[in-house]
């Protein structure tokens, strides 16, 4: 069901002027149309000359957590290390553990608290009690004992070194000399006794670098110490509180401090802050792999790889947000030490097709409700545990199942997989049932009225909750236009189903999107095509017979199913935010009906709305908004589905011109979202518009950005929640109506300094109606969402040739 459609305006901060996507004025929509030529369209399978973007195989992150249930002596893990033979070790408050197979094995001899674990000398060294211990080839040995009383004055903070074992402490650098611990005198010449050493790194040449509280220090090949002052461009840093240092395999020096992250290649520095895309800078650790650098922070972990950042926080990615230590295996696995166990992120080679098969299998296993196969998220008893699921209904089951079915229509057209046809047909029959089940019974709806969803009569009675008293209170306290109807869930004529009333425009947008696609791409014989024609005709007849409204069993229009000229063009209480979007939807419904049935009465109704009631003109301002990040994303999802049917089935060049002029600025408002569904619909519909020197066509970037999102779309569909408002690479949306509206409910919105919204694997969405400008969202891990939001754009892109696998 739609949420409130009135959205605020905002004012950008000065630093947002650097972003890629400027605000568009309403005037953008009001382009003079009489002299613009539009190229002919190519129908559903048009590629618009854009070609495709090669997808191929790529790496995706998958995470795994390890706790005491997986062999750790304790969930409180202080440090993690990988030895030269690839073995992973964890230091916990209850002892040392070694990873073996698929679990950790405690080392019986090391059963006390283990801290400052690090790889050294082919094994590991660590602090346990008052001694520095080593473990190698099954032998636990004392490397050296701390001097008596030493802990009263000096605390060990890290271990490291090459041939000699080095001890970083709260009072400088020490080393082991035989059976003694000695101060590293030459380091004392450049650093004060108060210098705390947080990190030690040594490369293959014997170069030594320290991250300390007072600076970043390096000693090359037994030469004197140098305090480093990295500088690049307008940056000139004197780092302090350097929490991480490392040399990588290419000899580059990396460090992390409160100013940001830096890397030295040869003699040249490159420095990164939030402006350059660094998500956060309260660092705890740093580690390098073959091609990537990982940063541990107090709120998650960060990977940097060839100019691309990945932010990994929350239970989707790590056991706890405070990353105590990081280690990277030679095979690319990254390990995290936290107070709630060990986390591992593996980069697995996959393809979009493999992701699609995974999500289709998951839907068939978990997400089908009732024999009709309505596709929807499910509840979980325990966070992330799919062993016991709890199916439930939603207000928009018809919409979500239609969009799933639409994806399978594209799948069948692109692959000719008979299983895709079965899935698409099941979804189409489910939509047919929604307008079957409303007929007859004690509270029959008018012919052609589709229900929102259904529940079996054997279960709970939904009218116990959705009753008149609740409706009256909602109308009084929340929404003056809320519909009071009783019963909200009538019983079907056969007594087997409750069906839900007050059907929304959301449902119709999804239904008609599926109707046209199933008819064109899946229905292969007259029986299948006749079934679609019958459903389309009865729903469309209902709308025309009731002055372009959905009329419920009480004889009154539903809350949102209103498309009549008297409301959209003359009722200011209703039409303010709906004139454009509902005009667009109604025209699309009629065009689908004309195409599927061939009945001229639908074309006549269409022409009446266009010529007498200016519905085509209404579409020129389809979205009520006040700039990027405003408006209602449910409307966006509905609008783009409506554009697809309307533009692909419209043969009148002048009307197509209207719709294309409507589509271009609409897409520019959502371009920063990198939404693959919106981008592929836009690219498949948009012809080149030319007028003199004016020329607009769909940019290839629309395909590239769609592919970016599909590649990073996580297989983990558990609703874990997310938090991004603290990030340094975020530009908040603020000012104007923002102060009065979003902040009223504690909402925080923003976008990356690059001009895009946060990547899909760093927030969470169930459907494409998600407000991706929102920076924070709670989640308890007890919802498992389906992958239909991946399948629809993927198969659409594949069918249109936008994806080349």
- Helix H, strand E, coil C: the string for 542-559 is HHHHCCCEEECCCCCEEE
Residue 756 lies in a domain: yes
Q: Are 283 and 325 a contacting pair, CB within 8 Å?
A: no
Residue 109: count other Cβ atoms within 10 Å of its Cβ.
14
Residues (pLDDT < 70) of the chain are 1-46, 48, 575, 688-695, 736-745
Looking at residue 306, what is its pLDDT? 92
Looking at residue 443, what is its pLDDT? 98
Residue 104 lies in a domain: no
Q: Are 200 and 168 a contacting pair, CB within 8 Å?
A: yes
Residue 548 lies in a domain: yes
Cα–Cα nearest to 742, from 751, 753, 732, 752: 732
| Residues 577, 568: Cα–Cα separation, whole Å | 9
| Residues 157, 17: Cα–Cα separation, whole Å | 43
| Residues 287, 246: Cα–Cα separation, whole Å | 6
- Domain span at residue 797 reads 14-58+371-804
Residue 452 lies in a domain: yes
Strand arrangement of the beta sheet that strand 172-177 belongs to: 156-160, 166-169, 172-177, 180-183
Q: Is 179 exposed, middle or buried (0-12, 13-18, 19+ CB in 10 A)?
A: exposed
Residue 258 lies in a domain: no
Looking at residue 194, what is its pLDDT? 77
Return the CATH number at 443: 1.50.10
Looking at residue 71, what is its pLDDT? 97
Looking at residue 630, what is its pLDDT? 79
The label of the residue with tokens 């499910």 reads: 378
The label of the residue with tokens 């007929």 reads: 439
What DSSP line would sit under 427-438, residue for residue?
Answer: HHHHHHHHHHTT
| Residues 487, 711: Cα–Cα separation, whole Å | 45
| Residues 759, 80: Cα–Cα separation, whole Å | 29
Cα–Cα nearest to 173, from 150, 157, 162: 157
Residue 308 lies in a domain: no
Looking at residue 46, what is its pLDDT? 65
Residue 217 lies in a domain: no
Looking at residue 22, what is its pLDDT? 39
Looking at residue 765, what is its pLDDT? 95
Residue 643 lies in a domain: yes
Q: Are 788 and 403 a contacting pair, CB within 8 Å?
A: yes
The label of the residue with tokens 């698929």 reads: 102
Q: How far is CA 630 from CA 127, 229, 664, in A?
A: 54, 44, 17
Q: What is the dihedral of CA 354, 360, 365, 368, to 10 degrees?
A: 170
The label of the residue with tokens 């693959």 reads: 676
Cα–Cα nearest to 527, from 417, 406, 645, 429: 429
> In the beta sheet, which residues pair with residue 325?
337
Tally of domains in the chain:
1
Q: How far is CA 468 from CA 271, 471, 487, in A?
A: 62, 5, 8
Beta strands in 430-475, from DSSP E residues, in sequence order: 454-456
Looking at residue 208, what is its pLDDT? 94
Q: Are 181 and 174 a contacting pair, CB within 8 Å?
A: yes
């Amino acid at each position: 069901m739609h949420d409130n459609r009135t959205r605020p305006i905002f004012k950008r901060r000065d630093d947002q002027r650097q972003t890629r996507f400027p605000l568009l004025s309403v005037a953008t929509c009001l382009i003079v149309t009489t002299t613009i030529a539009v190229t002919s369209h190519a129908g559903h399978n048009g590629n618009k000359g854009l070609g495709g973007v090669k997808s191929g195989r790529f790496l995706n992150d998958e995470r795994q957590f390890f706790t005491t249930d997986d062999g750790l002596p304790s969930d409180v893990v202080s440090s993690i290390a990988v030895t030269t033979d690839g073995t992973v070790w964890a230091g916990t408050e209850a002892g040392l553990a070694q990873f073996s197979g698929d679990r950790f094995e405690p080392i019986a001899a090391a059963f006390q608290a283990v801290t400052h674990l690090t790889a050294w000398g082919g094994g590991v060294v660590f602090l346990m009690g008052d001694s520095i211990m080593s473990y190698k080839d099954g032998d636990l040995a004392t490397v050296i004992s701390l001097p008596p009383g030493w802990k009263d004055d000096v605390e060990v903070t890290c271990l490291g070194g090459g041939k000699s074992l080095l001890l970083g402490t709260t009072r400088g650098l020490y080393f082991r000399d035989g059976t003694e611990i000695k101060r590293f005198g030459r380091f004392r010449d450049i650093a004060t006794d108060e210098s705390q050493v947080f990190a030690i790194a040594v490369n293959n040449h014997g170069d030594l670098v320290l991250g300390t509280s007072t600076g970043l220090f390096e000693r090359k090949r037994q030469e004197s110490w140098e305090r480093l002052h990295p500088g690049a461009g307008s940056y000139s840093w004197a780092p302090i509180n350097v929490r991480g240092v490392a040399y990588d395999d290419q000899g580059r020096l990396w460090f992390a401090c409160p100013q940001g992250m830096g890397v030295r290649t040869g003699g040249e520095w490159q420095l990164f802050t939030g402006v350059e895309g660094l998500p956060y800078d309260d660092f705890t650790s740093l580690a390098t792999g073959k091609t990537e650098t990982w940063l541990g922070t107090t709120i998650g972990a960060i990977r940097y790889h060839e100019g691309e950042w990945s932010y990994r926080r929350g239970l989707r990615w790590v056991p706890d947000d405070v990353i105590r230590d990081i280690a990277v295996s030679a095979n690319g696995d990254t390990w995290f030490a936290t107070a709630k166990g060990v986390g591992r992120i593996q980069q697995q080679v996959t393809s979009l097709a493999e992701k699609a098969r995974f999500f289709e299998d998951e839907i068939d296993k978990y997400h089908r409700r009732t024999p009709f196969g309505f596709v929807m998220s499910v509840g979980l008893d325990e966070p992330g545990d799919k062993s016991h699921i709890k199916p439930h209904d939603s207000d928009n089951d018809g919409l979500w199942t239609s969009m799933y079915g639409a994806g399978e229509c594209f799948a069948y057209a692109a692959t000719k997989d008979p299983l895709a046809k079965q899935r698409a047909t099941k979804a189409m029959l489910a939509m047919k049932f929604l307008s079957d089940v409303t007929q007859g019974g004690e509270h029959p709806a008018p012919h052609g009225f589709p229900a929102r969803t259904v529940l079996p009569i054997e279960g709970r009675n939904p009218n116990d909750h959705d009753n008149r008293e609740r409706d009256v209170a909602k109308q009084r306290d929340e929404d003056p236009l809320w519909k009071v109807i009783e019963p909200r869930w009538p019983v079907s004529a056969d007594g087997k189903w409750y069906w839900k009333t007050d059907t929304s425009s959301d449902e119709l947008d999804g239904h008609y999107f599926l109707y046209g696609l199933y008819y064109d791409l899946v229905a292969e014989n007259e029986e299948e095509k006749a079934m679609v024609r019958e459903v389309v005709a009865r729903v469309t007849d209902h709308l025309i017979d009731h002055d372009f409204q959905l009329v419920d069993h009480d004889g009154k229009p539903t809350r949102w199913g209103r498309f009549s000229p008297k409301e959209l063009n003359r009722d200011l209480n209703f039409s303010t935010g709906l004139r454009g979007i509902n005009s667009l939807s109604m025209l699309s419904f009629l065009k689908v009906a004309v195409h599927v049935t061939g009945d001229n009465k639908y074309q006549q109704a269409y022409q009446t709305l266009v010529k007498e009631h200016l519905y085509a003109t209404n579409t020129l301002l389809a979205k009520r908004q006040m700039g990027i990040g405003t408006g209602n994303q449910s409307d966006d999802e509905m609008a783009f589905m409506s554009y697809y049917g309307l533009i692909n089935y419209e043969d009148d060049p002048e009307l197509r011109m209207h719709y294309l002029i409507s589509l271009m600025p609409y897409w520019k408002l959502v371009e920063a979202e990198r939404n693959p569904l919106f981008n592929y619909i836009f690219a498949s519909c948009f012809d080149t518009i030319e007028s003199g020197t004016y020329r607009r066509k769909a940019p290839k970037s629309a395909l590239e950005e769609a592919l970016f999102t599909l590649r990073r779309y996580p297989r983990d569909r558990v609703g874990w929640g997310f938090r991004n408002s603290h990030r340094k690479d975020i530009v908040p949306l603020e000012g104007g109506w923002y102060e009065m509206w979003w902040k009223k409910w504690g909402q925080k919105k923003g976008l990356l300094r690059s001009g895009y919204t946060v990547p899909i694997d760093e927030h969470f969405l169930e459907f494409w109606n998600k407000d991706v400008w929102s920076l924070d969202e709670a989640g308890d891990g007890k919802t498992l969402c389906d992958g239909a939001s991946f399948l629809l754009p993927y198969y659409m892109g594949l069918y249109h040739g936008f994806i080349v696998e």
